[in-house]
Amino acid sequence: MGGSAFHDLPPNSCPRIPNVVYQTLKARLTPVLEQIYVYVAVPPEAPEKLDHGDLDFAVYKPREDSSSNVSTPGMVNAPHFIVQAALGASHCILEDDNRTSNFAIAIELGAWEELGCAEQEEKSRRAAGGHDIYYQVDVHVCADKNEWERIIYFHAYGDLGMIQGLIASNAGLLLGLNGLKYSHPPHPTVTLSQDFTQIAAFFGWSNERRSLGFNTRQEIFEWVCESRLFNPERFRTKGEGFTKVKAQRKMYYDFLAWVQEKRLNQTQSEVIAAGTEKAEEWQKRIREEALAKFDGEDKVKSSVLKNYGSKKRQKQIFNGTMVGAWIGANPGERRVKIIMDMVRERHGGADGIERIFEAEGEDGLKQRVLCALEEYTSTTQ
């Protein structure tokens, strides 16, 4: 499957792009976008990949000569018409500010022939029913350089970022595009670090080796497993703290199969070297190490206090006694709880309740409660 953003175009209008064509397109468009943005990059692609669905750029900081035409002060993106014209895009899906815009660039007839891909182009045109075919080029505008660097790191080498996140999940931590996080329900999740250089050092991943690039997926798998936190004996892919991954993430699932084979082929000495520490004890120790490394103790205390303060405030501004009085019911009646749940659900949960109270006071909450009561009454009669 090729690019999938342009649903208004005929089916198969954005075909998969052969690797040699993709590299040529990237080399052509990178300097074009560099005339508009100061920072422009494409995350390094997964090795051994034969074709690509689209071309993804991450950009930041419009150049002065292009940003002078921005109509809204404070916008982080260059004017769309400048980008569209520079890319030569025929169709666009445009998003302002810190978001991704999609551009469809027409593929000239015979453009792939000189790159040795004439047959693929012909097949793509037939699949599109004789209609024009396009490259899908996505341009994500970053809010700051930190985000730009994080995107380039985490989206590099195909599913590598997701695989690194899986290693973190096994250690009881969360690792994603926004950095390393510490979860401790029911309190808010704490961000420990957004610096992937420091994060990699904590896990035991060589930044120097990574900067050299990878020629095969095997090299990536071996690099990931150099982490001091990787242990095939206690390696899991499901359970609390793990997210479900789409089946089409072939590199991710190939890694899981590779780990399984690695586990089965371990020597006795390797099993012994892995240690006998129970998984729960090991995870607790690593989480404590992470807090110490990234000065997380104060952040955790702050999140606990914030959560406690929020809950206490909720009880003060939105409770069964108040709601019962508004609807003429005893606080313990079942319908009081039902109506409170209805109000929370319709207005953004606890945060939404606070926003209403801050903007409209108690009268605003009472109005929402009475509306919910009317709805509840109409459905129970």
Which pLDDT belongs to residue 71? 44
Task: Give the pLDDT mean for 166-174.
Answer: 95
pLDDT in tens, 91-107: 999 999 999 999 999 99
- Give the confidence band of 314 by pLDDT, cuts at 50, 70, 90: low
Task: Give the pLDDT mean for 10-30.
Answer: 97
pLDDT in tens, 245-298: 888 899 999 999 999 998 888 777 666 556 678 888 999 999 999 999 998 777
pLDDT in tens, 211-222: 999 999 999 999
> Picking from 71-85, 188-202, 284-298, which range would have the lowest pLDDT averaged per residue?
71-85
Q: Which helix (H) or strand (E) holds 62?
A: strand 55-62
Residue with tokens 């989480």: 287
Which pLDDT belongs to residue 262? 87
Please choose, from the candidates 49, 37, 53, 45, the residue with its C-alpha nearest in 3D space to the C-alpha of residue 104.
53
How far is Cα of residue 241 from the mean position of the Cα atoms in its chain?
16
Q: Percent of the chain beyond pLDDT 90?
A: 62
Cβ–Cβ < 8 Å for 33, 25: no
DSSP per residue over 322-373, as a string? HHHHHHT--TTSHHHHHHHHHHHHHTTHHHHHHHHHHHHHHHHHHHHHHHHH
The whole-angstrom separation of Cα 173 and Cα 84 is 41
Which pLDDT belongs to residue 310? 57
Residue with tokens 């009081």: 336
CB neighbour list of residue 236: distance below 8 Å, 6 or more residues apart: 170, 242
Q: Given this structure, which CATH class describes domain 17-149?
A: alpha beta
Task: Give the pLDDT mean for 13-25.
Answer: 98
Asked whether residue 21 carries a pLDDT value surpassing 80, the answer given is yes
With 0-12 / 13-18 / 19 or more C-beta atoms within 10 angstroms meaning exposed / middle / buried, residue 158 is buried
Which pLDDT belongs to residue 189? 82
133: three-class secondary structure by DSSP: coil
Which pLDDT belongs to residue 290? 93
Which pLDDT belongs to residue 212? 97
Please choose, from the candidates 218, 202, 201, 220, the residue with its C-alpha nearest in 3D space to the C-alpha of residue 210.
220
Mean pLDDT of the chain: 89
pLDDT in tens, 126-168: 999 999 999 999 999 999 999 999 999 999 999 999 999 999 9
The whole-angstrom separation of Cα 41 and Cα 150 is 12
Q: Percent of the chain beyond pLDDT 70?
A: 90
Q: Show me where the domains of the chain are located.
A: 17-149, 157-293, 318-380
pTM of the model: 0.76
Both tokens assigned to 190: 């704490």
Overall size of the chain counted in residues: 381
- Give the confidence band of 184 by pLDDT, cuts at 50, 70, 90: confident
Asked whether residue 210 carries a pLDDT value surpassing 70, the answer given is yes
Asked whether residue 334 carries a pLDDT value surpassing 70, the answer given is yes
The whole-angstrom separation of Cα 138 and Cα 53 is 11
User: How many CB atoms sit inside 10 A of residue 366's CB?
Assistant: 16
Which pLDDT belongs to residue 64? 86
Which pLDDT belongs to residue 303? 56
